[in-house]
Amino acid sequence: MRLITKCLDIDAGKKPIVILNKEDAEEIGVNPLDRINIFLKNRNFACIVNISKDFVKRGEIALYKDVWSVLGIRSGEIIEIKRREELLSKKFIKKKINGGKITYEGMKEIVKDLIKNNLNDLEIASFITALHIRGISLDEIVSLSKAMIESGKKISFNKKIICDKHSLGGVPGDKTTLLLVPIIASCNLTIPKTSSRAITSPAGTADRMEVLAPVNLRADEMKKVVEKTNGCIVWGGALDLAPADDLFIRIEQPLDLDPLYIPSIMSKKKAVSATHLVLDIPTGRGAKVKTFGEAYEIASDFIKVSKMLKIKTVCGITFGEQPIGYCVGPALEAREALQALINKKEPADLIDKACSLAGLLLELVGKGDKNIAYKCIKSGKAEKKLREIIEEQGGNPKIKPEDIEIGDKKVDIISNKNGIVMWIKNQEIADIAKIAGAPKDKGAGIKLHVKIGDKVKKNQKILTIYSEKSLKLNESEKYAKETEPIIIIEKLSENMLIRKLEEEKYERGFILER
């Protein structure tokens, strides 16, 4: 079918959407959300169909800006469209829905059609749901990982050993990477760390690092930084590494499902040529992984998949029952990480976790242990290395913690009793920081004044909320008082009832990190 273009100056959020007249749509047999292919100058471009009875005349096709700007089309041009042919990938998706297993060829077809925008959101959601319900075998994980790696670019380095680190996330304030990368790089090992921005948390590693230096580096820029300093901390989204992952995440997040986390993580590690990996599995109440048994199973799966992908992996099960350090939110966390490298002592839990994980990685490559990692911090080598990385990524290498701006509006939350901190609710802490404006507002977040086991007096500050906007500060303060994120008890033997629940007022958040 040949149609006349009508270009709309409307952004569809990076979705290639077109609008057909109802009669034209019926003639070629497409419904809303179906796909059509636009043929133009030997190019074939898949688009999402919307249908209108009056907005588009018969014989016309309205193109959102995301389509006509990419194809270089102007209003009044004639283009040819065809209904999308039946996809082989849909047969593999149906096979999984029915309980079958998908081969490498099947995974490759699914990822190929995902990248080409041939699959609609319902088809992608069906695939994700089928994996969640039916399960995903190790062979399928490896096959999907390989297909996702092949879907994007691969960055290689002229080194035999390429180190990497990843955390399953779920614990607020986990700025460990900002210490671990310079520790490893200062030991003359290569660690090209690609990180995510926040997906459902108050700060992703890329958000924290962006306070110190630009993170939107191209692949060639990233390589230059790594070749000069041995390390980097950049946003993976700018590198086109395993791009299928971002498309899957877009559907996983609203579904509150994450069956693809192993291929998602491993594909991106393989894409940067990682040979040795330390995987952090935070475990405990409020963390994504609740029990040691679950942590062992996850670690076992990662190690098996890693061997099949020829990556040597060591897993560390870490304490995940409270935030790491005292700060949550991009600017507050960047300030705290820099301060930790300067004072070399506090926060003790942050330094210990960074050195413990770095030690596991050093042992894996035969270059030392936790003590060597500590020495890198105590000698100032790690701080010097971080400043080198900051400079090469385009930041100010002389930046001081006090130079980092945080929200100028703040409120203190105080204790209403004497006692001991028994529990800090990770999800509620994260939610308060997000309501305050994090991660979009870099200066928004929380500073804790107490941790589990600390003694507290009545009217003592237990946390401070920072925001850049008064309305957000007021909302976060109200939420903090309603949810009671820090549980303080006077005496455990007389406080066996933690809380009464008659109805769940607040939904539990879905934690998805990359």
Q: Nearest to residue 335, comparing CAs of 414, 399, 260, 249?
A: 399
Residue 30 structure tokens: 């497409």
Q: How many CB atoms lie within 10 A of CB 278?
A: 25
CA-to-CA dists, residue 487 to 134, 475, 481, 499, angstroms: 39, 20, 12, 10
Q: Residues 6 or more apart from 256 whose CB is under 8 A from it?
A: 510
415 SS3 class: coil
Preceding peptide of 439 cis, ω within 30°: yes
Residue 191 structure tokens: 């660690």
Helix/strand/coil (H, E, C) string of 66-82?
HHHHHHCCCCCCEEEEE
- Sign for the CA dihedral angle at 131, 145, 191, 205 comes to negative
Query: Which residue matches tokens 């309205």?
Result: 62
The residue from 113, 245, 258, 441 that is catalytic is 258
d(CA 163, CA 176): 15
Query: Which residue matches tokens 């086991």?
Result: 453
Q: Residues 6 or more apart from 271 whose CB is under 8 A from it?
A: 149, 152, 153, 154, 155, 241, 242
Helix/strand number for the chain, H first, E second: 18, 18
List, in sequence order, the alpha helices (H) in 116-159: 121-134, 138-150
Residue 137: what residue type? S
Residue 146: what residue type? K
Q: How many CB atoms lie within 10 A of CB 349?
A: 18
d(CA 497, CA 173): 29
d(CA 388, CA 382): 10
Rounded to the nearest 5°, which phi and psi values hold at 389? Answer: -65, -45
258 is known as an active-site residue = yes
d(CA 355, CA 365): 15
d(CA 178, CA 383): 10
d(CA 455, CA 421): 7
- Yes or no: say if 289 and 283 are a contact pair by the CB < 8 Å rule: yes
Q: Residues 6 or more apart from 315 whose CB is under 8 A from it?
A: 278, 279, 280, 281, 298, 299, 302, 303
Which residues participate in catalysis according to the annotation? 258
